[in-house]
Structure 1
Amino acid sequence: MAAARTAKPDAVGVGAIDAARTALTDLVDAGDVGEHLGHASEGERVTTHFFACTRAGYRGWRWSVTLVRASRQKTVTLDEVVLLPGDDAIVAPAWVPWRERIQPGDLGPGDLLPTEEDDPRLVPAYLAGEDDLPDDEEGDTIAAVTDELGLGRPRVLSLEGRELAAQRWYDGSHGPEAAIAQSAPGTCVGCGFMVRLAGPLSTLFGVCANAYANDDGRVVSFDHGCGAHSEAQLHKRNLPAPLPEPVLDTLTWDDLEQF
């Protein structure tokens, strides 16, 4: 691929600094225009001059004034004036679509987060609902089975959806790498407060049901753990110091009168 050709500087355009400044101050307040910062050759007989912007709130920005000279002419003509950010300018962060900006915990009462029709985390269920079942005893039996298996929904988790959820849960604060799990006396798989899940995720996760645990009501991995384990026991060094022997007060009023 041939290298792009650099435009040859136009002597008239390069020397037209005053003309560029005059054109700029005709459009903006002269107090917002600072020193000349240089020029760039944009094309044949096209030159852009840069001036510092001194307007409050625009630190690092610069005015860009583009001049063009017609063939065989000795004067330049104003083409464009824009305000552009420099290398150290304060600019807004890159725009991110709202769906990508949403974080866990952002949804509040009344907020809706529609799911895309082609969301790879979901696949169509085998049965969409009772309307698709035959209206007889066989239909009642199928409905009971599908309700028990959780299939009476338009869509269910896909294999990818399950893998994403499992990885997210396992890598998060309810997995084995959490600091509280590293110092736990035992893992959740041996805790009496762990309620097992149903379905494919039940092979690795359960739900904590200990009201005093940090993870109460949350999904935890089997190899997670915390100090509220059902079988946790205090070591002797962790037991409170024993109370001293009690001292009985045997003084009576007669004894006090003798003093």
Structure 2
Amino acid sequence: MTATPTQQSDPVHADPVLVDAGAVSLARAAAQEEAGSEPVGDHVGVLAEDEVSVTHLFEAERAGYRGWNWAVTVANAGPGTPVSVSEVVLLPGQDALVAPDWVPWHERVRAGDLGVGDLLPPREDDPRLAPGYVGSDDPAVEEVALEVGLGRVHVLSREGVLDAAARWQAGDFGPRSDMARSAPATCGTCGFYQRVAGSLGAAFGVCANELTPADGHVVHVEYGCGAHSEVEVENISAVPVADVVYDDAILDVEANAVDPAPESGQ
């Protein structure tokens, strides 16, 4: 059946016997048999499939299927032949509640979804990976692989390297983050900055300062924070001291009163 309830029209090219009261009753009985004990609602439309078949639509009064219709296709072999039921299905109407389009699991997974004990294999033909024997386009990786005589099954492809670099640069520890914009200097001149190996080392390293939010994270060479190894803060008293200056020109001077001399004998 190719028609849907959203394509309702008068089946003017179909055999009239397929749309008369007898055909509607036959279709309703078929829908009721499929629905079981649940009632079948009103007849709400007819869809023309071709000259020898039409689909009758009935409201589906089934829990959880609001806006759906029972679609019953009836057909015959031509004028003068009996009408029979070809198919009975539930189809969504224009206002039906339907499930969202299915998305493959590897497209639904997002950063941070992986939990303890979860397994997350890479998708087949992941463009971020290349077979180890092909090479990684990273001289440091190639050097190590040749040195030990073995290589990993997969290594980062050039696309994988560029993808990681773009993601890290745009992240919380990139040069455009709020922390980096207010920092006194960049990570590239910080003693806590540990450059990563390989081609990514030209722009990225790992922060080794436990007092910063970036500790243990990959940071861009132009990222920075207030805990830079060369930051100096002027040591001043935490308690403000006011300077007091007296001007003799505006001071009022009064002579001390002299006590009268004591009388003799006292």
Compute the TM-score of the two structures, normalised by the length of structure 2.
0.68
- Cα distance in structure 2, aligned partners of 1:44 and 1:165: 59
- Cα distance in structure 2, aligned partners of 1:27 and 1:156: 55
- Cα distance in structure 2, aligned partners of 1:79 and 1:179: 66
Structure 1 residue 46: deviation in Å?
A: 0.6
Structure 1 residue 120: deviation in Å?
A: 3.4
SS at match of 1:66: strand
- Residue 52, structure 1, aligned to residue 59, structure 2: yes
Question: Are the counterparts in 2 of residues 7 and 43 from structure 1 also a CA contact under 8 Å?
Answer: no
- Over the residues paired in the alignment, what is the CA RMSD in angstroms? 3.6
Deviates more, 1:77-86 or 1:149-158: 149-158
Aligned ranges 1:88-167 → 2 under 5 Å: 88-115=95-122, 118-125=125-132, 146=144, 152-154=150-152, 155-167=154-166
- Cα distance in structure 2, aligned partners of 1:35 and 1:117: 49
Q: 1:106 to 1:149 in 2, by over 3 A?
A: farther
Q: 1:192 to 1:37 in 2, by over 3 A?
A: farther
SS at match of 1:156: strand
- Cα distance in structure 2, aligned partners of 1:78 and 1:126: 61
SS at match of 2:90: strand
Question: Residue 242 of structure 1 is aligned with which of 236, 239, 242?
Answer: 239
- Cα distance in structure 2, aligned partners of 1:26 and 1:168: 57
SS at match of 1:26: helix
- Cα distance in structure 1, aligned partners of 2:26 and 2:103: 40
- Cα distance in structure 1, aligned partners of 2:147 and 2:168: 23
- Residue 178, structure 1, aligned to residue 177, structure 2: yes
Aligned ranges 1:181-220 → 2 under 5 Å: 181-220=180-219
- Residue 71 (structure 1) aligns with: 78
Structure 1 residue 150: deviation in Å?
A: 8.7
Instruction: Return 5+ residue gaps in structure 1 as ranges.
Output: 1-5, 129-144, 246-259
- Cα distance in structure 1, aligned partners of 2:179 and 2:156: 30
Instruction: Return 5+ residue gaps in structure 2 as ranges.
Output: 1-10, 136-142, 243-266
- Cα distance in structure 1, aligned partners of 2:203 and 2:112: 25
Q: 1:232 to 1:43 in 2, by over 3 A?
A: farther
> What is the identity percentage for the equivalent residue pairs of Structure 1 and Structure 2?
48
Question: Are the counterparts in 2 of residues 39 and 49 from structure 1 also a CA contact under 8 Å?
Answer: yes
- Cα distance in structure 2, aligned partners of 1:164 and 1:233: 37
Structure 1 residue 59: deviation in Å?
A: 1.4
Q: Answer with 1 or 2: which has the greater Rg.
A: 2
SS at match of 1:169: helix
Compute the TM-score of the two structures, normalised by the length of structure 1.
0.70
Structure 1 residue 209: deviation in Å?
A: 1.4
Structure 1 residue 67: deviation in Å?
A: 0.8
